[in-house]
Amino acid sequence: MAPHLVHSHAHEGDIPGTVDLRAAEGDDTAYGQALFPVPAEDPNDPLQWPKWKKHMILIICSLYSFLSNSSLLGPSVYIGVFAETFQISPVVASGLISYPNICYGVGTLITVPAYLKFGRRPVMLLSLLVYLVGLIGCGVSNSYGSLMACRLIHALASGVCEALPVQLVNDIFFLHERGNKLGYYTVCLCWGSTGPLYAGYMLAGGYSWRLFFYVETAFAGLLLILGFLFVEETTYKRRSPNGPAIPNPNGEKRVFGQDELDGKSSEEKVEHVVEVETMVPPRRSFVQTLKPCYFLVPAVLWVVTTYGIYIGLGALVFNYTFPIKIIAPPYNWKQENAGLIALGNLIGYGLAVPLVWTSDRLAAYLTKRNGGIREAEMRLGVLIPAAFIAPAGLIVYGYTAQDNLQWIGYFAGVAMTDWASYFYFTFTLAYAVDSYNANTSEMLIAMCIGKQMISFAFGIYVLDWVVQSGYVTIVAGIFCGVLFANNVFVFVFMAYGKRIRTFYAGTWLARWHKRTIRQVMTH
């Protein structure tokens, strides 16, 4: 039975982030709008793959994100244990989480150019293998130096999870599906912050901190097998001026009759032919792939600050401060219970997941009201409640810690902040990708490095800061103010986002980006 091939005449407008989704007769549609990107009439086009294959790839890359993030943050509950074992201070011991956190983002400097050159599948499998080796090394380390080295290795390798899942979602899903699918990836990434919960209870079972790395190793091995079996290469060259671009892995010229392109039988052949030739651009240098000028693009800078601030708060500030507070008077909890703050993560993200559809539906509704023209800003309205709930969560957490209030305050503050962070993680990223789809891979590098640097700045000295100035001043004051200032930019982009995109399209920066386009993810 021949596969069903979808048809669409949707196209992107002259302004980045504006797409004409008005359906023509015979188009396949979603929410009454034409499908975008326009798929090739080829069953090998990832957009034409069956749903089970697409979702299997999404599940595997999302689980990898969960696993890598949990291994990155889980040992935060062992800061006191590491300090005692290796005879170092808690601040030095916290470096076993802070420095791998930087590598997690910096790893994209290697992995993104690699998957552009060699493909998504081989890079993902190799990263899983190196990640596995790093975890094994952590489990057998006997010194602070060797443990740090192995932590940096597995964090550097698994940093591909910061960019590749976004790339895969754009490779295999249509525009109207992406906010929803990115949401599932995001929740797995966010729930990785529950790693300290599992790590803490492994101590409660009477086991060494090494068991955590052994368990992570076992799951990484299983994921490597699943990736090998189910993650197919998603790179596909779809654009062609004369018709659907049939991929040619050998790079030679091939000639296709119009009957081949249209799927006609031999009796219906026509005279003329269309030449389709694979265009291979010259390989750019490593430095050229870094694209530091992407930090000048407002939507990209907003994603960088959003991720950096929320990761710095949720992954580092909460996980560093809660274990210290909760094992001390007046709470006096056991060390193995110090990871229970992850319940706040579970509650916050768990309450947000059922609302993952809201962004795509809101954008579809506003597109219909706009005569079938999609603007990138149409999905941003769902961020408004989150803009205020997250800062309120920091105020709750800061006052609870400062005044030793009821322990429930810690969980409430974390749940509120994480509930809001889920929306900002998912939909600011979707907005940036919708707005600027040229050189998206390099844009992801800029995002990943920038946000890890910001989150590192939030976490590296937070223990010293709260001792010197107090939780109210640092968490409920400074951090809350920075977060709120970042969040309210949603109103700026909702009101002026299209004007910003229009202005950007005529600048030297846009012209420079167009001259250096490596790939367009949404075509």
State which of 60-74, 187-201, 456-470 shows the largest mean pLDDT. Answer: 60-74
| Cβ partners under 8 Å of residue 293, min gap 6 | 509, 512, 513
CA distance 463 to 460: 8
Mean pLDDT of the chain: 81
Q: For residue 466, what pLDDT is reported?
A: 87
| pLDDT band at 487; cut points 50, 70, 90 | very high
Crossing angle for the helix pair 79-86 and 144-158, nearest 10 degrees? 140
CA distance 162 to 65: 8
CA distance 90 to 178: 42
Q: Report the pLDDT averaged over residues 155-175.
A: 88
- The yes-or-no verdict on residue 70 having pLDDT over 80 is yes
**Distances in Å between the alpha carbon of 389 and those of 382, 408, 412, 430?**
13, 17, 11, 21
Q: For residue 458, what pLDDT is reported?
A: 73
| pLDDT band at 396; cut points 50, 70, 90 | very high
Terminal Cα distance for the chain, rounded: 27
- The yes-or-no verdict on residue 83 having pLDDT over 80 is yes
375 in helix, strand or coil?
A: strand
- The yes-or-no verdict on residue 332 having pLDDT over 70 is yes
CA proximity to 171, closest of 162, 156, 161, 181: 181
Kindly state the tokens that stand for 390.
Answer: 């997250």
Q: Report the pLDDT averaged over residues 20-48.
A: 71
| Tens-place pLDDT, residues 259-278 | 433 444 444 444 444 443 44
Adjacent-strand bridge partners of 276 = 254
**Distances in Å between the alpha carbon of 75 and those of 66, 92, 138, 223, 244?**
15, 14, 11, 21, 50
Q: For residue 421, what pLDDT is reported?
A: 94
Q: For residue 256, what pLDDT is reported?
A: 37
| pLDDT band at 295; cut points 50, 70, 90 | low
- The yes-or-no verdict on residue 282 having pLDDT over 60 is no
Crossing angle for the helix pair 164-172 and 51-73, nearest 10 degrees? 170
Q: Which of 63-72, 182-191, 297-306, 435-444 has the lowest mean pLDDT?
A: 435-444
| pLDDT band at 126; cut points 50, 70, 90 | very high
| Cβ partners under 8 Å of residue 368, min gap 6 | 31, 32, 33
Adjacent-strand bridge partners of 274 = 256
- The yes-or-no verdict on residue 303 having pLDDT over 60 is yes
CA distance 328 to 425: 33
